[in-house]
A = this chain, B = another copy of it.
């Protein structure tokens, strides 16, 4: 059985340091503050919001909620974001998505100031990641993969990493972050042949499964000694949450693996808070 790379353990270690930084700032009169913008009463939005609020309390980050009716006018939502962008007491924005269909999601995402875009949902933030510019924040899920590898002392420099999935939300950003840490990265996707996928995965030192389909990575595609990071969130026939990896058989073969749930996802809200604290620290440097 592989070593389990638990996100919560890595997150707890980081939470402690974050709390210290937030308390230090509060003592100097600045409370790191996150605005959560939610449109409507979607259950999974509220669940995510509650998770974020709980994590914020643990690390002394203040939350300001902006709850909007499901039928809010686009201009009114833009005004709210503009208000937050200009508000010096709020350091970051979390906009819960997807937005209702009557809203121009792209326009709204891109109206968030880069320095307050805590989960890299604006094009400017993503572009900054590609162009290696400072000032923005990485997507929390992609960063979570990196942080888990770092926490568990799994080196990436000079290692062969296969990323399965080429989305702008996770596949491409995590590939860029791995490359910036000097990994040799291959991106596989739906048009990669089965044969190549198996060959490349088997050769890899680290596999990041971010395809969005369960059983994307099976036991035949892995070998002893590997690390597997599972980014997927899917549900099986019994309604149980599972990742992109065929967990039981794969974990019998590889060296280390993140569980789902309890892996990558357990780290994301901690990184969200890290971004808020960093954003607050930057305003104090000015």
Contacts and interface: CB of A to CB of B under 8 A. Distances in A.
Counting from the closest, the 8 A-B pairs by CB-CB distance are A127-B127, A182-B191, A186-B186, A130-B130, A184-B192, A158-B193, A158-B191, A123-B131
B189 A179 contact: yes
Interface stretch (A70-78, A196-204, A240-248, A251-259): A196-204
A120 interface: no
A184 B158 contact: no
Copy tally for this chain in the complex stands at: 2
Contacts of A192: 158, 184
Contacts of A191: 157-158, 182, 184
25 contacts: A123-B131, A123-B133, A124-B127, A126-B130, A126-B131, A130-B130, A130-B172, A131-B168, A158-B191, A158-B192, A158-B193, A158-B196, A160-B196, A160-B200, A166-B179, A179-B189, A182-B189, A182-B191, A184-B191, A184-B193, A184-B196, A184-B200, A185-B186, A185-B187, A199-B203
A53 interface: no
A39 interface: no
A126 B133 CA distance: 13
A188 interface: yes
A159 to B, nearest CB: 9
A108 to B, nearest CB: 16
A179 B168 contact: no
A203 B199 CA distance: 10
A106 to B, nearest CB: 10
Nearest to A192: B184
Contacts of A124: 127
Interface string A111-144: 0000000000001101100111100000000000
Nearest to A193: B158
A161 to B, nearest CB: 10
A172 B129 CA distance: 13
Contacts of A157: 191
A177 to B, nearest CB: 13
Nearest to A185: B187
Query: Which among A186, A193, A199, A203 has the highest number of chain B CB atoms within 10 Å?
Result: A186
A188 B184 CA distance: 6
A184 B184 contact: no
A184 B166 CA distance: 10
A186 to B, nearest CB: 4
Interface string A182-224: 1011111101110010011001000000000000000000000
Contacts of A168: 131-132
Contacts of A199: 203
Contacts of A203: 199
